[in-house]
Amino acid sequence: MSDAETSVTEVSEFDRRMLEALICPQTHASLKYSAESEELISESAGLAFPIRSGIPIMLIDQARRIE
């Protein structure tokens, strides 16, 4: 399969190895990956950062508040 033929599933899948390098932009704590909601969870900040097309959106104003 060529690069131009890469399936949507391959593109949208989050590379979990990236999680090791990412931290919460607010608290600098580690994050947990939620495959079900496709989000990175910062329990210390109470925020869930969305993953869109395999790219984590690490902007506080784009995060969802969690309890």
> What is the SS3 string spanning the chain?
CCHHHCCHHHHHCCCHHHHHCCCCCCCCCCCEEECCCCEEEECCCCEEEEEECCEECCCHHHCEECC
Topology, domain 3-65 = N-terminal domain of TfIIb (2.20.25)
Q: Token pair 């395999």 is at which residue?
A: 54
Domain positions in the chain are: 3-65
pLDDT tens-place string over residues 5-55: 433 334 346 677 777 889 999 999 999 999 899 999 999 999 999 999 888
Give the separation between CA 1 and CA 56, rounded to whole angstroms: 26
Quickly state the pLDDT bin for 2 (edges 50, 70, 90): very low
What pTM does this model have?
0.76
pLDDT tens-place string over residues 58-67: 999 999 999 8
56 compared with 16, residue with greater pLDDT: 56
